[in-house]
Amino acid sequence: MRLTVGMDQSDIRKVRDFANWLFKIGEGKLGGPNDGEMIIDIPDDILINDSHDPIGSLIDFVYPLILENFSNTNYFQERAILAPKNEVVQEINDRLLNKFPGDEVEYLSSDSICESEFVHDQYDSNLYSPDVLNSLKVSGLPNHKLVLKIGVLVMLLRNIDQENALCNGTRLQVLSLGKRVIEVRIITGTNIGNWTFILGMSLTPSEKKIPLKFTRR
């Protein structure tokens, strides 16, 4: 999907200029000759000047008047925050969650070692205790504790049903929170506006940095 769909010429020009600026940074064409380090001027219109609470300022900039618009699907389709680290993602998620009205619902995963890991060898149950497994934060898996409210956004981390556009990266808005199922509305992709249900499922991380295989349900 092109980002310029529905934009006027002024907005398209701004997007194009910003994209060109990013390309020049990536190609090392800004800041003059350098040996791997350079000073780059950041345009004022994308610069966060609040040194006391930069994340709060970013949230307020991207999601202005969120309480008045959290039930408006179009409002969230046009906005997103990208973060470089999972820790930053978690902080942004927590602070956005606090802005939504209603009660929090907490979901905890059940983590276990894959039996195939130790077919011939015994393993130390203390080394791989449930607390240790629960503490693992792995790319492609939700954290052990997931806290949600009605109205918040979630993103799929796996392909569930490609035919119905439930794929990795699909953004959804929570409509209701049950004990074992979450009702959501699709807000990106080809089936925008459709309702569906997300059930509990068992996932095994594919990241090779982890020294063992475990399952998170």
- Compute CA distances 126 → 92, 118, 120, 129, 145, whole Å: 33, 15, 19, 5, 21
pLDDT band at 122 (very low <50, low <70, confident <90, very high): low
Confidence band of 118 (pLDDT split at 50, 70, 90): low
Residue 173 has pLDDT above 90, yes or no: yes
Count each helix (H run) and each strand (E run) in the chain, helices first.
6, 8
The pTM of the full predicted model, rounded to 2 decimals, is 0.74
| CA 139 vs CA 86, 127, 216: distances in Å | 9, 22, 13
pLDDT tens per residue, range 7-57 = 677 778 888 888 888 888 877 777 777 666 778 888 787 788 777 898 999
The answer to which of 95-99, 172-176, 189-193 has the lowest mean pLDDT is: 189-193
Amino acid identity, position 111: D
pLDDT at 179 over 70: yes
Rounded to whole angstroms, how far apart are CA atoms 188 and 169?
Answer: 9
Please give the pLDDT value at position 2: 47
Residue 203 has pLDDT above 80, yes or no: yes
